[in-house]
Homo-oligomer: A and B are copies of this chain.
Amino acid sequence: MSESPESSPARTSSAGVAAHDDPVYRPAVIDLLGVLAYGELTAFERLADDATLAPTLEDKAELAALAVTEFHHYERLRDRLRDLGVEPVSAMRPFQAALDTFHRHTAPADWLEGLVKAYVGDGIATDFYREVAAYVDADTRALVLEVLENTGHAVFVVDRVRKAIAEEPRIGGRLALWGRRLVGEALSQAQRVAAERDVLTALLVGGVDRPGMDLAAIGRMFARLTEKHAQRMATLGLQA
């Protein structure tokens, strides 16, 4: 197993309340909630769309249920943004271009590509947000971890993908390439967000009086993300 996120002096709940008035911290948390919310909303759309590709009614209903779970996560994040006095749409808008581009560049060509994207793409995103969650106040962290909770689709997706490869082994090669493309696109759009949203980046790298990762810690984080990604690909029966 890979190591857990860097242990760091994470903000306590009481510190968090104070931190929400902090002119650097507050926009960072709003950015974090905004990118997560738009991520959940687009995940809903993509999964619902992929459900139309399902080969059977059972599979269609399974994927639709995953989509609905993502939408309920979106609702939780939207409500928190409102509680913070922020219009959810304005918090999401800065991330629209990056996420829309990611989805446009990774539109699944078929049902299996959709499943791999749901599993591998969500997996990387979830691992990354969990890392970020170490640097926010306890209330925000609890919400972030809640919406990242395993949506229980692992068993369903793994079963379908492994069966397809067992029946037609060369599918494995194509899906392995697809997995690499997903990671490449995700990294490319993440870099774009990091470059455009200084406050969000500052949450991760820290600053004066602010806990965060140094360059070496960021390197270790990427090593953890990559290792977990390889584990997920292996679980699907794919080479990372």
Contact = CB atoms under 8 A, between A and B. Distances in A.
B48 A74 contact: no
Number of this chain's copies in the assembly equals 2
A89 interface: yes
A89 to B, nearest CB: 5
B44 A64 contact: yes
Interface in A80-94: 88-89, 92-93
A78 B61 CA distance: 10
A158 interface: no
Interface in A16-73: 38, 41, 44-45, 48-49, 51-52, 56-58, 60-61, 64-65, 67-68, 71-72
A51 B45 contact: yes
A27 to B, nearest CB: 19
> How would you classify the secondary structure of chain A's contact residues: helix, strand, loop or mixed?
helix
B72 A68 contact: yes
A239 interface: no
A52 B45 contact: yes
A67 B71 CA distance: 10
A12 interface: no
Given A56-B89, A89-B56, A48 B67 contact: yes
Given A65-B71, A68-B71, A92 B48 contact: no
A7 to B, nearest CB: 37
A226 interface: no
